[in-house]
Amino acid sequence: MNAHDHNLTSNAPLDQNLAQAAAANAAAGPPSKATPPSCSTSVPAFKFDTRGVPLEHQYDSWRNSFSSMLEFSERKDRSSGFEGKQVVWDLGNLAFSRIRTSALEFASVPGHTRRQALDHWTLTLPLDGTISTDGPAGSFEGGTGIIQVHSLGRWFEGHVTDSEMLMLFVPRDFCPEAAHILSASEFSTIDTAMGRLLSDYFIGLAKRLPSVEASNLPEVVSATQAMIRACILPSRDSIEEAQAPIARVLLEKARGIVRSKLFDPTFDAKALCRDLAISRTGLYRMFEPFGGVMHYLQHQRLLDAHAALADPNDKRRIIEIAEQRCFSDGAEFSRAFKREFGYTPSEVRAGRKSSVPQRSASELTAVAPEERLGLLLRKLHG
């Protein structure tokens, strides 16, 4: 078993809402030849494998697959074939992919040559191999386990070795707060303790997505948004390396305590300070990326309420679900819920509303396998 296989079968830390959304015992298998999703209720996944293409056309088909976002060039004779495999999950507001590629050189696509310009960010986690980039502010290189941030709307070029990687595509209009954070982190590696948490999250996401149902996409998207906000910090260079391992363990302990107190109306920041044996200043700094302890606690309570409301076996009234999660006023709960998700508790209970765009799988299965990634990325604008 190689290093990335070990990572993909490990217990990566995930937010509670993703754990509820996923079947924990599923494992992401390697991409295979292009096929549509096998189950209509699962998250749409589209695969492309150059082994299904004649040897002399494998490199060109792989290059075409990425033509909406990158230009490829190489110096080797590819007439003997080119290894390229990808599986792309359509998350509605986001796209997530697992990619295996042979070595090649890449560059951003000049804006004047694009039929439809892409201005997404890509968050790339190499599982093996290295990626080197020359960007607007200089050069950087990243290897196994370190997430890199690129902006498809700006100039860059570089090269990648024979590699396997996970890649998250984030459109500019996905989340204003995330946009601010990603803009400050463009063309850099997130080599911090919190960045490693995000790497673990990506690995867990790749492991569990094959078993997640499409109805759980709002929870997956919300968890991913929260992880981006929490783990990619413009102030990351101010964290001392010696403190990082301690901070990571303490944060995970704090999050575990919060999850265990979702139904406790007496729980507050003072109680968490006492349980962790740290100062209020230390606690504030720990939860500042989340908007503070109480904001994080309410966010987790709302996510837990969302899961209960979406459960067809939970027949309780909405107010009962709200009161269990320490919302004494039904109107207050509805307002907070709508601010968080963009729709009401009643719409979730009725199964009528989702914050995730619903696309027919036929939109992507109708085109050639090597064209699906580009089509999906263009649709993220909508």
Write down the pTM of the prediction. Answer: 0.58
Beta strands in the chain (DSSP E): 45-49, 70-73, 84-90, 95-101, 104-108, 121-128, 131-135, 138-142, 148-151, 157-160, 163-170, 188-189
Do 197 and 273 fall into the same domain? no
User: Which is higher by pLDDT, 117 or 226?
Assistant: 226
26-38 per-position pLDDT tens digit: 333 333 334 444 4
Please, which residues bridge with residue 89 across strands? Answer: 45, 96
Joined tokens for residue 85: 């495999």
329-335 LR contacts (CB < 8 Å, sep 24+): 333/305
Do 176 and 260 fall into the same domain? no
Task: Tell me, yes or no, whether 360 lies in a domain.
Answer: no
SS (H, E, C) 286-316: HHHHHCCHHHHHHHHHHHHHHHHHHCCCCCC
Task: Tell me, yes or no, whether 361 lies in a domain.
Answer: no
d(CA 322, CA 54): 58
Do 108 and 189 fall into the same domain? yes
Do 175 and 214 fall into the same domain? yes
Helix (H, G, I), strand (E, B) or coil at 203: helix
Do 141 and 43 fall into the same domain? yes
Task: Tell me, yes or no, whether 315 lies in a domain.
Answer: yes
Q: Band of the pLDDT at 244, cuts 50, 70, 90?
A: very low
CATH of the domain at 246: 1.10.10.60
Q: Evaluate if residue 8 carries a pLDDT over 90.
A: no
Do 93 and 111 fall into the same domain? yes
Do 154 and 207 fall into the same domain? yes
Task: Tell me, yes or no, whether 311 lies in a domain.
Answer: yes
CATH of the domain at 109: 2.60.120.10
Residue position matching structure tokens 């190489």: 74
The amino acid occupying position 81 is G
Task: Check residue 349 and give its pLDDT.
Answer: 87
314-318 LR contacts (CB < 8 Å, sep 24+): 318/345, 318/346, 318/349
Q: Do you know the residue count of the chain?
A: 382
Contact of 215 with 41, CB cutoff 8 Å? yes
DSSP 328: -
Q: Evaluate if residue 154 carries a pLDDT over 50.
A: yes
Nearest to 109 by CA among 68, 60, 159, 64: 68
Task: Tell me, yes or no, whether 322 lies in a domain.
Answer: yes
* CA–centroid distance for 165 within its chain: 13
Do 45 and 97 fall into the same domain? yes
d(CA 301, CA 278): 24
Q: Band of the pLDDT at 146, cuts 50, 70, 90?
A: very high
Do 132 and 15 fall into the same domain? yes
Do 79 and 148 fall into the same domain? yes
Task: Check residue 113 and give its pLDDT.
Answer: 41
The structural domain count of the chain equals 2
Instruction: Tell me which residue range forms the domain holding 108.
Output: 3-233+368-379
330-356 per-position pLDDT tens digit: 899 999 998 887 788 998 888 765 545
Do 91 and 187 fall into the same domain? yes
Task: Check residue 356 and give its pLDDT.
Answer: 55
Helix (H, G, I), strand (E, B) or coil at 134: strand
Residue position matching structure tokens 């269990």: 324
Task: Tell me, yes or no, whether 335 lies in a domain.
Answer: yes
Helix (H) or strand (E) holding 206: helix 193-208
Do 147 and 273 fall into the same domain? no
Q: Band of the pLDDT at 137, cuts 50, 70, 90?
A: confident
d(CA 302, CA 343): 12
Task: Tell me, yes or no, whether 357 lies in a domain.
Answer: no
User: Which is higher by pLDDT, 21 or 270?
Assistant: 270
Task: Tell me, yes or no, whether 354 lies in a domain.
Answer: no
